[in-house]
Amino acid sequence: MKKIGIIGYGWLGERLASSLSGKYTLATTTTTESKVNLLNNKGIHAVMASFPDYQLTEPLSQWGEVKNMEVLIITIPVSEKSCCVSSLYNRIQNLSAFIGDFKGQMFLMSSTGVYPDIAKEFTEEDVPLEKISGERMLRNKYPQLNILRLGGLMGDNRLLKNYNVGNLDHAVNHIHYADISRIISEMIKQKSESKLYNVTAPVHPAKSQVINAQKNLLDEEEFEVKGKKVLSSKLVSELNYTFQYPDPRSFHL
């Protein structure tokens, strides 16, 4: 059974682990000792680790489990929106010390936030990874790295109706966590390497339409959906992938 490491057992990491358990042996990192004990009791080998955005006096020790892993999934943020470029460099250096010279299949959970907020349909070619510091730094260190630019993470307790949102006539670029797990599983199966994919549900309704669907309200009027749409057509084409949740209006069902 393949061994998979998940760096960052947060909201997404937890759901990825739940989906992948049973098919793979899992190891993960978390930031609290209580979570380490909880995960180890569930059969997931967990260690406490964090990746600060400053230079450490002593480099992080390499993760003991990593030498046995065939796949590594990175869910911690490595974007300029979370820190400046110099701090980002330090974070990636700390992460690299932890995982060492890993040669297996790798995935970085990036974000569609790399695209400017203008009314346009975006593909991966519009903003190459070379223009995104975190993506570029990690790809330079790990040429085999697959980069998945995720839309807004939704499903379970994450529903748009629970948030205070503006621009209700603007399109959503959402993704159900179940599709992220299925896409990673398919890429593992196909042994994908060095790929860059947008990961968004192919249907882009307006925010108001999603909220109304979640409140069981009918949309009575037709209107133009504004704003940017991030397209996942490259992923669909290359992986021959069919979304389990293609329309964010049904994520709650």
Do residues 198 and 250 touch, judged by C-beta distance below 8 A? Answer: no
What's the pLDDT score for residue 82? 58
What's the pLDDT score for residue 46? 96
Q: What is the dihedral of CA 216, 178, 27, 82, to 10 degrees?
A: -70
Do residues 183 and 107 touch, judged by C-beta distance below 8 A? Answer: no
Residue 16 has a CB neighbour count (10 Å cut-off) of 26
What's the pLDDT score for residue 203? 98
Q: How far is CA 218 from CA 174, 247, 251, in A?
A: 21, 16, 16
What's the pLDDT score for residue 84? 78
What's the pLDDT score for residue 168? 95
What's the pLDDT score for residue 197? 98
Q: Is 101 helix (H, G, I), strand (E, B) or coil?
A: coil
What's the pLDDT score for residue 81? 66
Q: Residue ranges of the chain with pLDDT lower than 70?
A: 80-83
What's the pLDDT score for residue 22? 86
pTM of the model: 0.96
The CATH classification number of 3-157+174-202+229-245 equals 3.40.50.720
What's the pLDDT score for residue 232? 98
What's the pLDDT score for residue 83? 63
What's the pLDDT score for residue 191? 97
Strand partners, 46: 28
What's the pLDDT score for residue 79? 78
Bridging pattern class, strands 45-48 and 145-150: unpaired
